[in-house]
Amino acid sequence: MTFVVGEDCIKCKHTDCVEVCPVDCFYEGPNFLVIHPDECIDCALCEPECPIDAIFSEDELPADQENFLELNAELSEIWPNITEKKDPPADAPDWEGKPGKLALLER
């Protein structure tokens, strides 16, 4: 099983989760983070660190975000690995909790 970064991360991209990951399985895109499903060891350390609750256990992924499991797998193969916490985008608070952000995902 793996953990999955969901839609709420888009345009918010807090990296608190990255800092606690013991296997460095996070990958960074322009405005979103993903978890590599083959590298995740299901330790659950990242989930409580996300200030916007954008990380889910694979078996607790909301039905309307099931496509994010495949999206995390796909993008983690092409984006660079991230291992250190960074500042979130300056406008992150403006995007927290906004629905329908998938169309804003930058690849």
Tell me which residue range forms the domain holding 39.
3-84
To the question of pTM greater than 0.85 for the whole model, the response is yes
- Tell whether 92 is covered by a domain: no
- Tell whether 89 is covered by a domain: no
- Tell whether 90 is covered by a domain: no
Domain CATH number, residue 49: 3.30.70.20
CA 15/CA 29 separation, integer angstroms = 12
Amino acid at 4: V
Q: Which residues of the chain have pLDDT under 50?
A: none
Total of domains in the chain: 1
Please name which of 27, 32, 38 lies closest in space to residue 10, comparing C-alpha atoms. 32
- Tell whether 93 is covered by a domain: no
- What pLDDT, on the 0 to 100 scale, is given for residue 16? 98
